[in-house]
Amino acid sequence: MEDQLISPADSRGSPAKEQQAAGVGILLQIMMLVLSFILGHVLRRHKFFYIPEASASLLIGLVVGGLANISNTETSIRGWFNFHEEFFFLFLLPPTIFQSGFILSPKPFFSNFGAIVTFSILGTFIASVLTGLLVYLGGITFLMYKLPLIECMMFGALISSTDPVTVLAIFQELGTDVNLYALVFGESVLNDAVAISLYRTMSLLNSHMSTGQNIFTLVVGFLETFVGSLSSGVGVGFISALLFKYAGLDIDNLQNLESCLFVLFPYFSYMLAEGLGLSGIVSILFTGIVMKHYTFSNLSEKSQQFVSEFFHLISSLAETFIFIYMGLDIVMEKHSWSHVGFIFFSIIFIVISRAVNVFSCGYLVNLARPAHRKIPMKHQKALWYSGLRGAMAFALALQSVHDLPEGHGQTIFTATTAIVVLTVLLIGGSTGTMLEALQVIGDSNEGHIGDGFNRSDGYVSPFQDEEESSSNRFKMRLKEFHRSAPSFSSLDKNYLTPFFTTQSGDEEEHETLMPSPRREVYLSRN
């Protein structure tokens, strides 16, 4: 199937010649993967954080793509280096998104769930709209290349997708605060889902809807897509939990069947959502969260070990290949460099929008939180700095080339390419320096990655009583609501866990914030 998706459509010649070209193309891709893993290991071992592993993979792709461009490489071979959105969305992205949901530890994620949802949904919406408006205003004031308003909104949606995999890897290496890690990781996971839903909604409006219906249709269309996709993913996750609870597959001679079924459910969730016209990314993300929390405990011990290692493996390969793949296509794809002003001002507008997003949402979250749970300003600054753009923004920008008129999509794609390269290489390489400057490394007053979540001096405990008085009546009402409202953890413990799993719900789980699958091995050295 991979041959059908990424082999060049315009290749000509005998079948033997085409097969040889395919072999050479795949061989070069495998060699780049091997080189990327080895180089990443060497950089990690020597604690050289100025070139993170993702940056190294991107650079390898840039170098090999550049050599293929200036050499006399056959067109049939070069075609194997082209970035294909179908291959990305159907084969590379699903395992990485599922693994993101699968490795989420419930305690830090749900303890900071309100903040994560605020940053990822409200914040992404703010950043998307503000970026689109600033780009549009920049166009009508002749600061940059002018695009129609709805196309500016499409650009704002796709460029608001963050991919802080480089930052998170360095967070783990340097042992930063566990709450900060949960915020950055959780926001990035949900942010992709929101950004792609916004982009698809804007694209639909651009293609079919009249101007007078834009705002209403945007809101309704986004809610339909996001809520429908979320419901689809959660529903598939719950169905899998019940299947594995009552099917009796956790016996020795059925472990292969058990593992195979578990591996197929995520793709079933993804394809179901796509077939219904929803977002497969949102669906598979929440399927991963639900399957880890409920379905996973219904597996036999050997099957648990196998599926963990399997998704670890394929997500590591896919994630590395995405950056190599992206680097190759950045060099080999046709770009429009005639509008440098569009790139320059877009970067400025993105920085401004990200700041408004993070600090306004941080203010709202702190307004609703008691004093001991407020997000420190240094954590908000780190969250702002962590807004790298990556594979999702690049893939959506490449898709915009087909969705928008000639010239417009090319300009957006070129700008996105420049932004991705700059953020991954420059921001990713300076993350260690940023963490040291903000003094969020080695803070003894708060928990760190791997320390667990039983500490009470951080801001992970959502319902801890406090005796502080407040003159703000609104804050007092919020505190009373938090004390009286039943928590999700109580609902989960008393009803959901006993219904969907073989556990009683009284079993205490001691979990730590799971690291990104491709880098967890390095934590043991620190």
- Region label for 407, one of left (φ > 0), alpha (ψ between -120 and 50) or beta (otherwise): left
| Domain residue ranges in the chain | 19-81, 85-438
Helices of type H across 209-247: 214-246
CA distance 334 to 399: 14
Q: According to the model, what pLDDT value does residue 309 have?
A: 92
- Residue 8 is given by DSSP the state -
297-354: per-residue pLDDT in tens?
888 888 899 999 999 899 888 888 888 888 887 787 777 777 788 999 999 999 999 9
- pTM score of the predicted model: 0.76
DSSP 3-state helix, strand, coil percentages of the chain (rounded to 5)?
75, 0, 25
- The domain over range 85-438 is classified in CATH as 3.30.420.40: no
CB atoms < 10 A from the CB of 476, how many? 12
Average pLDDT of the segment spanning 35-53? 82
Band (pLDDT 50/70/90 cuts) for residue 135 is very high
> Which is more confident, 17 or 466?
17
- Residue 523 is given by DSSP the state G
User: For the stretch 8-44, what's the b/e string if a residue is b when 16 or more beta carbons lie within 10 angstroms of its beta carbon?
Assistant: beebeeeeeebeebbeebeebbeebbeebbebbeebb
Closest CA to 433 of 40, 41, 49: 49
Q: Rounded to whole angstroms, what are the CA distances from 386 to 39, 226, 383, 427?
A: 23, 24, 5, 8
451-491: per-residue pLDDT in tens?
433 343 345 444 444 334 444 554 555 455 455 445 666 77
> Which is more confident, 111 or 313?
313
Average pLDDT of the segment spanning 209-236? 76
Q: According to the model, what pLDDT value does residue 252 have?
A: 65
